Amino acid sequence: MVKGVIFDMDGLMFDTEPVWGENLKPATDALGLAYKPGLSDAVRGTAGGEFAKVVHAWYDESVDADELWDVWHAVVEEHLRAGVEKKPGLDELLAYLGEQGIPAAVASSSPASQIAQNLENAGVSACFSAAVSGLEVEHAKPEPDVFLRAAELLGCDAHEALVLEDSFNGVRAGAAGGFITIMVPDLVQPDDEMRSLATRICRDLYEVRDLLQAGAIG
């Protein structure tokens, strides 16, 4: 039985991934870096040291990854202040979890301030018992730290918790932590690695709700 559900945010709950992708180039431009096509895909779902590792692999160690992170997030935050569109089935899934008394948490690579802002703008803050940023734990995705912390706050073990993710690094993190892990693809479709790591792949959050209702997860 699933005793807690842990949601990624960008691309899973909200249609924000295009905003992130479209605004990485303006951020690199602002720092005088030549944008490299595919970089936004490579850093998707990362934070902190993992983000820096990818940036240094694509450029070199002389690039200040922290500065790029800060500029990128500042640009994106301007676009997100007006609110973000919810992904199909989010409200319905949250309503079902509330009816069943199953607690939910957010575990995102985004800063805590952006998590809080998006939840508030979307009117779903009250649906979550906890929220954890990848910047608050030692290792960001694809390590499972952020999910393990979220499960701890929900009071359940990894094998009792459902992780919902759209990114490859998120699925890797969920699998590494021993979670029931469902991938709901957004911009990138699953490959053989994702199909081997994910417990299931669902087309949207409506399907996740339906599987929970049917007792087909856990």
3-state helix, strand and coil shares in percent for the chain, rounded to the nearest 5: 50, 10, 35
Instruction: Name the token pair of 109.
Output: 């690579």
Q: pLDDT-derived band of residue 19, with 50, 70 and 90 as boundaries?
A: confident
- Note the pTM of the prediction, 2 decimals: 0.84
> What is residue 197's predicted lDDT score, i.e. its pLDDT?
98
pLDDT digits (tens, 9 = 90+) for 30-88: 999 999 999 998 998 888 888 999 999 999 999 999 999 999 989 888 888 877 889 99
Is 90 exceeded by the pLDDT of residue 206?
Answer: yes
116, exposed or middle or buried, with CB in 10 Å at 0-12, 13-18, 19+? Answer: middle
Whole-number average pLDDT of the chain = 94
Q: What is the pLDDT of residue 207?
A: 98
- 170 with 7: CB under 8 angstroms? no
The answer to whether the beta carbons of residues 90 and 124 sit under 8 Å apart is yes
Looking at residue 45, what is its pLDDT?
A: 80
22-36, 91-105, 192-206, range with the lowest pLDDT: 22-36
**What pLDDT does residue 182 have?**
98
Contact call for residues 86 and 14 (beta carbons, < 8 A)? yes
